[in-house]
Amino acid sequence: MLEEALQEISRGSSEIIDNERVEKLVKRFLETGETYTVKAGFDPTAPDLHLGHTVLLQKLAAFQKFGGRIQFLIGDFTAQIGDPTGKSETRKQLTPEKIKENSVSYTEQVFKILDREKTEVVFNSEWINPLGAVGMLELTTQYNVARMLERDDFEKRYKGGVPISVSEFIYPLLQGYDSVFLKSDIEIGGTDQKFNLLMGRHLQRAYEVGKEQAVLMMPILEGLDGVQKMSKSLNNYIGVNDEANDMFGKILSISDDLMWRYYELLSSKSLTEIAEIKAGVDNSSLHPKKVKESLALEIVERFHSKELADGAKIEFEKVHAKSQIPTDIAEFELEGPIWIAKALQECKISPSTSQSRRDIKQGAVKIDQIKVEDEQLQLETGEYILQVGKRKFAKAKVK
RNA sequence: GGUGAGAUAGUCAAGUGGCCAACGACGGCAGACUGUAAAUCUGCUCCCUAUGGGUUCGAAGGUUCGACUCCUUCUCUCAUCACCA
C-alpha cells in the first residue's frame, strides 16, 4: 500500500526535494490517519484553466487520496506584483472584484478534479496585507541580493543588462512567506517555480516554523505544438471548459511523441499500463491513432461525461474519417443574392473577402460538398452548407 | 540631465527618393500525402467583386511631380555618461 501510494505521488514529477519527509507523512497517514497539508499557489489573473494546470491539480488529487489536505492558494496579493518567472511584463492591476470573480470561476473548474471536502481555498492578501511595512521589512532581511541573483533568470537578466525591478525580488519572498503562514508540509509547483518553492523552505527555517516543507515539482506540459509550454497566450492549449468535440479533436491533433507525454502527465492509467501500450505501438500490434483516441476519450470523459466523450468520437469519425458534415454547425441568415466570398465572411469562416478569394482559388471552398470553381459565384435563395478547408463549416440561409 | 541608437505587417527583420503592399525568416491558412499525427513538398499570407482601387512602414506637419526613405516637432523604447537622495 505504501509503495503504491508513493509511486502514485511521485509519478511524472521532475524533482522532489526532501522525499524522505513526503514518505514519512504518507506513511504516518496510512498508519494513524493523521493528515498533512499540501500547498499549491495559483495566479488569479487568467481564470481559464487548461490541461497544463491540471497536471498540478491531478497531483494534488493524488495527495488527497493519501492524507493530504490541500491549501489551494489564490495569489491575489502577489498577482499585483507579477511573477518574474519567465517573461517580465508589468501586470495589469486587477480590481478586487475581478479577482473575486476570477477565483470563483477558478474554483468551479478546479473541483472537477479536486475533492472539495479536502480542500481549503485561501487568499494570500489575507495575511500579507496585515504584514505592514514593518513585517515586510523584516521579511526582506531574511534574504540577500547575492543569493537572489543566483536564481537563473535573474542572473541572466542581470548579466545581460535587462532590468530587474526590486518588486520582483519581493515576489519570491512573499510566496515563501505564504508557506510560513500556512505552515505547509509540502508545496507543489512547476519546475519553473523551483526558486520560489525553495524560498518557502528557507523562510520556514528563518521564521522558526518548526518544519521545512518538502517540495514536489511537476514538469511543464507542452502545448499542442509540442514545443512551447501550454498557455492561453500562445493559443496552443486545451481548456478544461472546451466543448467535448473540440477537446477530442485537439487531443487527436497532437503528435505521436507528445501523446506519450500527455499519457504520463494526464492519464490516470498506471505507468505499467502505459508502458504496455507503448510496447504495443512499438511492435505495431496497436495503432497509434487508436491509442490516441483512448487518451482523448479518457480526458474528455473527465471534464464532461462518458456520453459526450463517446459522442465526440463518433462525431470526429463522421467529420474526418468519412468526411461528412458535422451535426452542429452555426447558422447564418443572409440577404441574397450574395457573392460567395462575402457569404463566407458573413458566416465567420473567412476573415475577409480577399481571404475567401484566395481560398477559392486554392480549391479550399465547398458548397454542399462540391468544390467551388467560380470565384464570382452568387448564392441565390436557399440553404447551403459552406465549408472552408477541412474544419470550418457554416450553414447559410439565403433569403 | 548630457550623449548616442532605434521605432517597418501576428513576431523577428530587410529596405535609406520612384522598380514597395514593402526581400527574407518564423508563425498562420490552404492544397498534396496521411491517422485532421509528425515529417515532407506546393501555394497563399493588409482591405475592397480586383490585370483596377483604397489604406499602410511610431504620431503630426513640411519639402517634392513622387517619400518607408529627406527636413521639423512630438511620443515611446534602448544603450551610455553624469548627478542627486
Q: Does domain A244-321 have CATH number 1.10.20.140?
A: no
CATH 3.40.50.620 region(s) of chain A? 2-218
CATH of the domain spanning A331-398: 3.10.290.10
Calpha distance A271→A392 (Å, rounded): 38
Closest CA to A216 of A2, A22, A6, A3: A22
Q: Give CA separation, A356 vs A313, A338, A343, A391, in Å.
A: 30, 13, 9, 15
Tell me what pLDDT residue A161 has.
56
Q: Determine the nucleotide nearest to A339 by Cα–C1' distance.
A: B49
Tell me what pLDDT residue A223 has.
87
CATH 3.10.290.10 region(s) of chain A? 331-398
Residue A17 sits at φ, ψ, to 5 deg, of -105, 125
- The interface predicted TM-score of the complex, written ipTM, equals 0.84
Tell me what pLDDT residue A213 has.
94
Q: How far is the CA of A354 from the C1' of B52 (A)?
A: 15
Q: Determine the nucleotide nearest to A359 by Cα–C1' distance.
A: B30
Strand partners, A397: A333, A383
Q: How far is the CA of A324 from the C1' of B83 (A)?
A: 74
Tell me what pLDDT residue A160 has.
58
Q: Average pLDDT for consecutive 10-residue bins of chain A (399 residues)? A: 88 91 94 95 80 92 93 85 50 67 85 91 92 90 84 68 68 92 94 90 92 92 85 81 89 90 90 91 90 94 92 88 79 89 92 92 90 90 91 89
Tell me what pLDDT residue A89 has.
41
Strand partners, A186: A38, A214
Q: How far is the CA of A153 from the C1' of B25 (A)?
A: 27
Q: How far is the CA of A80 from the C1' of B5 (A)?
A: 34
Domain A2-218 top-level CATH class = alpha beta
**Residues A37-58: tens digit of each pLDDT:** 999 998 877 667 889 899 999 9
CATH 1.10.240.10 region(s) of chain A? 244-321
Q: Determine the nucleotide nearest to A292 by Cα–C1' distance.
A: B37
Instruction: Give every CB contact of residue A258 below 8 A, 6+ residues apart in sequence.
Output: A222, A226
Q: Find out whether A128 and A77 touch, Cβ atoms under 8 Å.
A: yes
DSSP per position, A245-260 = HHHHHHHHTS-HHHHH
Q: Find out whether A98 and A74 touch, Cβ atoms under 8 Å.
A: no
Q: Determine the nucleotide nearest to A289 by Cα–C1' distance.
A: B35
Q: Which nucleotides in chain B have some atom under 7 angstroms from a protein Cβ?
A: 27-31, 35-38, 43-50, 78-80
The protein side of the strand B contact, defined by CB less than 7 Å from any of its atoms, consists of A 161-163, 225-226, 249, 252-257, 288-289, 292, 316, 319-321, 339, 341-342, 345, 351-355, 357-359, 362-364, 376, 378, 388-392
- Find and give the residue nearest to B36, measured CA to C1': A320
